[in-house]
């Protein structure tokens, strides 16, 4: 069985509306999701209720709480649809099991985890070494389609700044 067959046989197509949570921080969800269409936000809530945006995800993104899937703990972040979205939901245990038997599934899992690790490394570097303006410029260059589809508040939270600071940055930059 290859990965496409696994999705069609064991995966479940989930149609979620804008504003609907796929899961919430603290839930137990041992599934991974492949975003077919739409836009999804992954975010943390701090103990004081402040939201911190972890990721903004477009079609083709592969997401799940590795803490929940692998360590069998609660999800460490929430996943909410910013647009009507379609996602394939797949048991992480099924994916792990297939990856032991099937080279294509194994390669998909390895590639996905490597991509996630590189994205995390890049994001850490940007937060530690770049200014907010540099981070905003990179976001505009790398993912310009997000700018018109995501609220300024969410973009600011993703960049780790206030909406006011984002407005000031945008005012300084050419369109």
Q: What pLDDT shows up at residue 141?
A: 96
Given a cut of 70, whether residue 3 has pLDDT beyond it is: no
Residue 87, strand partner residues: 14, 35
Identify the CATH class of 3-108. Answer: mainly beta
Domain ranges within the chain, ordered by starting residue: 3-108
Q: Tell me what the mean pLDDT of segment 144-153 comes to.
A: 95
How big is the CA angle at 153 (ends 51 and 22), to the nearest 5 degrees?
55
Given a cut of 80, whether residue 6 has pLDDT beyond it is: no
Question: In 1-113, where do the E strands start and end?
Answer: 12-16, 21-23, 31-37, 39-45, 51-58, 62-63, 78-81, 85-91
Instruction: Look up residue 174 and give its two tokens.
Output: 């050419």
Residue in the structure block whose two tokens are 């700018």: 147
Instruction: Look up residue 119 and give its two tokens.
Output: 């994205």
Q: What pLDDT shows up at residue 68?
A: 87
Residue in the structure block whose two tokens are 């050419």: 174
Cβ atoms of residues 105 and 92 within 8 Å = no
Cα 34 from Cα 11, distance rounded (Å): 10
Q: pLDDT-based confidence at 1, cuts 50/70/90?
A: low
Q: What pLDDT shows up at residue 4?
A: 66
What is the per-residue pLDDT across 40-89, written as a single tens digit (0 to 9) for each?
Answer: 999 999 999 999 999 999 998 989 998 888 888 999 999 999 999 999 99
- pTM to 2 decimals? 0.90
SS3 content of the chain, % helix, strand, coil (to 5): 50, 25, 25
Residue 73 phi/psi, 5° resolution? Answer: -110, -175
Answer positive or negative: Cα dihedral of 39, 119, 53, 146.
Answer: negative
What does the DSSP assignment read for 92-116?
HHHHHHHHHH-HHHHHHHHHHHHHH
The full length of the chain comes to 175
* First-residue to last-residue Cα distance in the chain: 49
Instruction: Look up residue 133 and give its two tokens.
Output: 């303006």
């Amino acid at each position: 069985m290859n990965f496409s067959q696994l999705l069609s046989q064991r995966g479940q197509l989930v149609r979620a509306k804008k504003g609907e949570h796929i899961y919430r921080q603290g839930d137990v969800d041992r599934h991974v999701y492949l975003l077919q269409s739409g836009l999804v936000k992954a975010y943390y809530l701090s103990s004081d209720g402040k939201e911190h945006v972890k990721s903004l995800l477009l079609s083709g993104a592969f997401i799940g709480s590795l803490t929940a899937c692998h360590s069998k703990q609660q999800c460490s972040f929430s996943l909410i649809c910013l647009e009507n979205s379609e996602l394939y939901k797949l048991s992480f245990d099924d994916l792990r099991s297939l990856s032991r038997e099937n080279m294509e599934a194994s390669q998909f899992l390895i590639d996905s985890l490597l991509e996630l690790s590189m994205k995390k490394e890049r994001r850490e570097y940007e937060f530690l070494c770049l200014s907010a303006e540099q981070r905003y410029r990179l976001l505009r260059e790398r993912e310009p389609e997000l700018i018109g589809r995501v609220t300024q508040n969410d973009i600011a939270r993703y960049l780790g700044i206030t909406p006011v600071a984002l407005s000031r940055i945008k005012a300084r930059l050419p369109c």
